[in-house]
Chain A
Amino acid sequence: MPLAFLAVLLPTLFWDRPVDTADALRKAGIERLYVPAGQEQAWRKQGFAASPFDRARAVQAVAPTVEYRMDVASATRVPWLDANGWRFDREPARVFFYDAPAGSAALAAAEAFAYGAEAAIRAAPEDLAQFAGMLHFLGEIDQPRLPVMANIGVLDDGSDTMAEVLNLLARHNLLFHVVPAAGLKYDLNIRQVPANADPYEFAMQIRRDLTDEKRLLRIYGSNVVLVRLTGDAAQARLHLLNYGKGTVKGLRVRVLGSYKNGRLSAFEHPGTQLEDYSVENGATEFTIPEMGTYAVVDLRR
């Protein structure tokens, strides 16, 4: 298990550039990294905690980003997101590899962390400082993992159609969890998707069947933020991932359940606090005044 040496399961930089780039890594604050097999000793001599990484054994993750595909989605309302959360949920035991172009490495790290996925991220040199900053932030907020909270249980048949359904459920923040067997724990269970089904219409029908009132989580004010929700009887943790290019301002969040207080941790926005916090009619609402790539909200009952 190549990751066994890590005390904390954080995403790790994959670096296949020459050892003479070590100063750039040190300057950014990188201490641990994956390297191609055979290069680990050279990097260890430079003082890095280096391990070999076999890309062939990893699942390729897409570079997280937003795309404005005019022929597929409305640029003003429903931009296309490349996200991996549904893939992580589908294959939780696998290791993932990101080849992250400039500007995407920090989000990739946050995404993998939010879903508890093991991931190696090949970052662009110009992203090193932000990537390292994200790793530092993740280390600060890390805590024992809480159970996944979801409205929908999914029995994954492994089909491409199901893959697209999972992608769309995640895209619309319809919280699901891939499970081995249907159970009473969920409001809805998906056992199969008809082979000729339109995945979008299928996902939207699930939303209608579930009803928005029963959804564990809703967000208002952005169509480029995806959310992961975990929790137990006493607490909940929301991971909010911003796939857009800019800062999201005034994001409103509604979580089903009454939580007395909440604490915001926002990457690159230290000190920012939740606003307009209310607990009413069995739901908790608050506003995140400003968030960049990633934010976490911890709620306590």
Chain B
Amino acid sequence: MHRRTFLQIAATAPAALAAKDRKVPKYRVVSHYQPAAQPGMPGPYPGQVASVHAANCIDEATEKPDPAVVREMMARGMRALTGDADVRDAWARFITPADVVAIKVNCSGAPGIMSSPVVVAEIVRNLMAVGVKPGGIWIYERFQDQVDSVHYDRYVPEGVHIWTAESTRGSTESYDPATYVEAAFFDEDDTRSCLIRLVGTRFTKIVNVPNMKDHGASGVTGCLKNIAYGNFSNVARSHSGSETNTYSFIGTLAAVEPLRSRTVLQVMDGLRGVWHGGPFSENRKFRFYPKRMLFGTDSVAVDRLLLDIIDDKRKAEHAVSVWDRSPKYLGTLDGHESNPNVNQFVREPGHIEYAGSLGLGVYDLDKIKVTSIEI
């Protein structure tokens, strides 16, 4: 394949949106991968989300999910998203037996909150039901210490790969030096963020499994943040002082090929949630239990719903809105971790709308069709 260098993002970004609201750094996107005929994001169901709520899906006291209820939630959600009567047919729309399927979990809040092993196990079961062999399934994340604390291996069949990009924090050998986003944010020396190599060389499909979480920098962390910051090296450089570049960096990363094309399904695990202190969850008092799962191919639409879920919960807890940019709420990390009215950064929930304007999905609530299911 002939190598091409794409320098398009800053130029094709939503100029009006960027100009009126935020400073967007100059991004240089380098990738030799071509987009699929129909990229996975926004995929075949733009602006559509299946939302499944089950009051008994998790025991709040023990925080243990009920596998049978989770199975029902996933079956109903996938059928609602696709319109198929048989859940196997629903999965077969996205996955073939020949695929190498990667499940992008989120373990940054583990063990307090993470892509539930019960949810991940049910995804694996469905993948195998359409013919994918255990060896063709990869559960992956960036940091090994986080994943090790979850023990996915106890929930999935032998042969399923559980893999992390960084066995030691900061190691870069698992990233592709030829696929990266270059930008200088805060005079950092290393201005590149490289894509996990396996995304291009091994994985043919990616199922994204974020949680429902508040995020001190980006406002919330859902599909977009998990697929963007969770697949590239050297992303923490986007934060400095009270400022972050999450507004434009998240969408820019998520749009890089082949990540955009191969991420074919969004399964948001909202059995548990974090309404403050995210993406971590060291303080249980900030966890809550939405008992909801969202299904879609449109990461922007799913995240748009997440915004309201988190902000509504914060309002109910009398915490400052994720939209509030006032400097008066800025404080120290210690203060942020214990007080929901202290922000460590100026939050950037606008990153979702920005990603939408990059073509990743539908942001306007009036244009998002939500199919709600109660179990």
Contacts and interface: CB of A to CB of B under 8 A. Distances in A.
A276 B177 CA distance: 8
Contacts of A223: 189-190
Interface residues of B, number: 23
Given A77-B237, A280-B3, A249 B172 contact: yes
A250 B190 contact: no
Contacts of A222: 170, 172, 190
A285 interface: yes
- The DSSP consensus for interface residues of chain B is loop
Given A76-B236, A77-B237, A250-B171, A173 B189 contact: yes
Contacts of A287: 177
B96 interface: no
A252 B192 contact: yes
Nearest to B178: A276
B173 interface: yes
B374 interface: no
B280 to A, nearest CB: 15
A250 B173 contact: yes
B345 interface: no
A289 interface: yes
Contacts of A204: 187
Contacts, number: 55
Contacts of B184: 212
Given A212-B191, A223-B189, A251-B172, A77 B236 contact: yes
B275 interface: no
Interface in A157-190: 172-173
Interface string B167-206: 0101111110110000010011111101000000000000
Interface in A264-292: 276, 278, 280-281, 285, 287, 289-290
B177 to A, nearest CB: 5
Contacts of B233: 221
A250 B172 contact: yes
Nearest to B3: A280
Interface of A: 76-78, 172-173, 204, 207, 212, 218-223, 246, 249-252, 276, 278, 280-281, 285, 287, 289-290
14 contacts: A77-B237, A78-B189, A172-B189, A212-B191, A219-B189, A220-B191, A220-B192, A221-B172, A222-B190, A223-B189, A250-B177, A251-B172, A252-B172, A276-B177
Interface of B: 3, 5, 168, 170-175, 177-178, 184, 187-192, 194, 233-234, 236-237
Task: Return the 3 tightest CB-CB contacts between A and B, nearest first.
Answer: A250-B173, A250-B172, A221-B172
